[in-house]
């Protein structure tokens, strides 16, 4: 893409939009701008007043390199290394799933059930966005985030440090290394059916961590594993909250009922699709 002459910001932005659109990027114009913002550290108002400003050769190369990588369908958030979730900035990279707005519903439901003095466990914590968002909005709560990926945990620990939120993170295959009991267990486990993954957008299919996506044959594998042992780690009356796929609400309700959970509710996202399920362990253990 690079040429041996100085280009204006407008030329770079316009060529970036065209290039990304030609590569099938869904929101080419927005992404071209966000990458310009990343490289040049400018606001939209400044750009509109100075769009004919010439970029240095180094800046132009940096911008065009990012545009080329975005054209390879590498997610924008991995290129900038950051995203926002529940009003907080999070570091992300290729080792963690990119936080989605839909997942904020899980945080909202958790906050309705959490109170000072409670202990929270977040399984498959990834970037730590769910746990840290809950902790940042409720004082006097302690939390543990668990993930099988040590590289993901490094990201979670960095986010906790950057946000100045105290949390414990440990490497664990679900409950394997977990000790003690919790008042609230949260999880956004892998829930996409294996045969669906090839149909996903390239940004997800080719670049987000497979282990954070693949829910095995029917997408319910990790829910079953978590539900099998959740009763041992939840206090009587404790809550279990999952993010779920749009077509999994009925199945999760049945699974949770079978495992003795009560007060089961399913919450939908802004598109009207099932997105979160919550249930409560019986006050008196049935074990």
Residue bearing tokens 């970037």 = 127
Consult the annotation and say whether 27 binds a ligand: no
Token pair, residue 163, equals: 């946000």
Residue 53 backbone dihedrals phi, psi, to 5 degrees: -60, 135
Contact call for residues 244 and 106 (beta carbons, < 8 A)? no
**Does 209 carry a binding-site annotation?**
no
CB 146 within 8 A of CB 123: yes
Angle, CA 83 vertex, CA 168 and CA 249 arms, to 5°: 75
Closest CA to 68 of 25, 6, 98: 25
CA distance 23 to 69: 11
Residue 63 assigned as binding residue:
no
Strands of 216-273, DSSP E = 234-243, 261-268
User: Do residues 92 and 128 make contact, with C-beta atoms less than 8 angstroms apart?
Assistant: no
The CA–CA distances, whole Å, from 234 to 83, 116, 185 equal: 32, 17, 7
Query: Distance between CA atoms of 287 and 272, rounded to whole angstroms?
Result: 36
Q: Is 191 annotated as a binding residue?
A: yes
Distance CA 153, CA 171 (A): 7
Total residues found in the chain within this entry: 287
Q: Is 89 annotated as a binding residue?
A: no
Q: Are strands 261-268 and 168-171 parallel, antiparallel or unpaired?
A: unpaired
Cα 85 to Cα 99: distance, rounded to the nearest angstrom: 6
Task: Please report, in range form, the residues annotated as the binding site for substrate.
Answer: 188-191
Task: Please report, in range form, the residues annotated as the binding site.
Answer: 147, 188-191
Task: Please report, in range form, the residues annotated as the binding site for S-adenosyl-L-methionine.
Answer: 147, 188
């Amino acid at each position: 893409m690079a040429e041996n002459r100085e280009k204006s910001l407008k030329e770079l932005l316009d060529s970036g939009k065209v290039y990304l659109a030609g590569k099938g990027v869904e929101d080419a114009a927005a992404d071209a701008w966000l990458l310009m913002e990343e490289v040049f550290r400018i606001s939209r108002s400044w750009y509109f007043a100075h769009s004919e400003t010439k970029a240095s050769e180094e800046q132009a190369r940096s911008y065009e390199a990012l545009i080329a990588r975005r054209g390879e369908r590498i997610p924008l958030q991995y290129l900038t290394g950051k995203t926002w979730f529940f009003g907080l900035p999070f570091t992300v990279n290729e080792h963690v799933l990119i936080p989605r707005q839909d997942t904020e519903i899980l945080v909202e439901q958790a906050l309705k059930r959490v109170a000072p003095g409670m202990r929270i466990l977040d399984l498959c914590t990834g970037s730590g966005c769910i746990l840290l968002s809950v902790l940042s909005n409720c004082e006097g709560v302690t939390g543990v985030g668990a993930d099988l990926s040590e590289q993901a945990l490094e990201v979670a620990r960095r986010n906790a440090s950057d946000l100045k939120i105290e949390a414990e993170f440990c490497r664990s295959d679900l409950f394997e290394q977990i000790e003690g009991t919790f008042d609230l267990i949260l999880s956004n486990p892998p829930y996409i059916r294996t045969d669906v993954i090839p149909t996903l957008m390239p940004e997800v299919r080719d670049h987000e961590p497979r282990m954070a996506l693949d829910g095995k044959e029917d997408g319910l594998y990790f829910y079953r594993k978590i539900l099998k042992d959740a009763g041992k780690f939840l206090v009587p009356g404790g809550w279990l909250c999952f993010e779920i796929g749009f077509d999994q609400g009925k199945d999760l309700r049945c699974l949770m009922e079978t495992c003795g959970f009560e007060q089961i509710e399913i919450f939908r996202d802004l598109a009207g699709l099932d997105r979160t399920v919550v249930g409560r362990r019986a006050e008196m253990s049935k074990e």
